[in-house]
């Protein structure tokens, strides 16, 4: 089954609950490995860059004289 079809056939709450159950079933080391893997993904990089762009625009809007990029992941 295609992921899109699966998502369309399930409610958002069901998807969140299934994800929560999967993460909760992981050992500490498995969870750590999953977090590290996701930190290095393109998805995380894109959101990190988006956050920096938003921070830069806020600085420009507030007429700040310096820019400090976000370190959040």
Tens place of pLDDT per residue across the chain (73 aa): 455 566 666 788 888 888 889 888 999 999 888 888 877 777 666 666 666 555 555 556 655 555 455 555 4
CB–CB of 23/31 below 8 Å?
yes
How far is the C-alpha of 59 from the C-alpha of 43, rounded, in Å? 25
| pTM check: above 0.75 | no
Residue 43's nearest CA partner among 22, 71, 73, 19 is 73
């Amino acid at each position: 089954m295609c992921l899109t079809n699966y998502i369309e056939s399930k409610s958002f709450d069901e998807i969140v609950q299934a994800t929560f159950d999967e993460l909760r079933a992981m050992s500490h080391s498995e969870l750590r490995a999953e977090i590290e893997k996701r930190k290095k993904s393109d998805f995380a990089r894109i959101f990190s860059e988006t956050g920096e762009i938003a921070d830069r625009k806020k600085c420009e809007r507030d007429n700040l004289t310096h820019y400090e990029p976000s370190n959040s992941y």
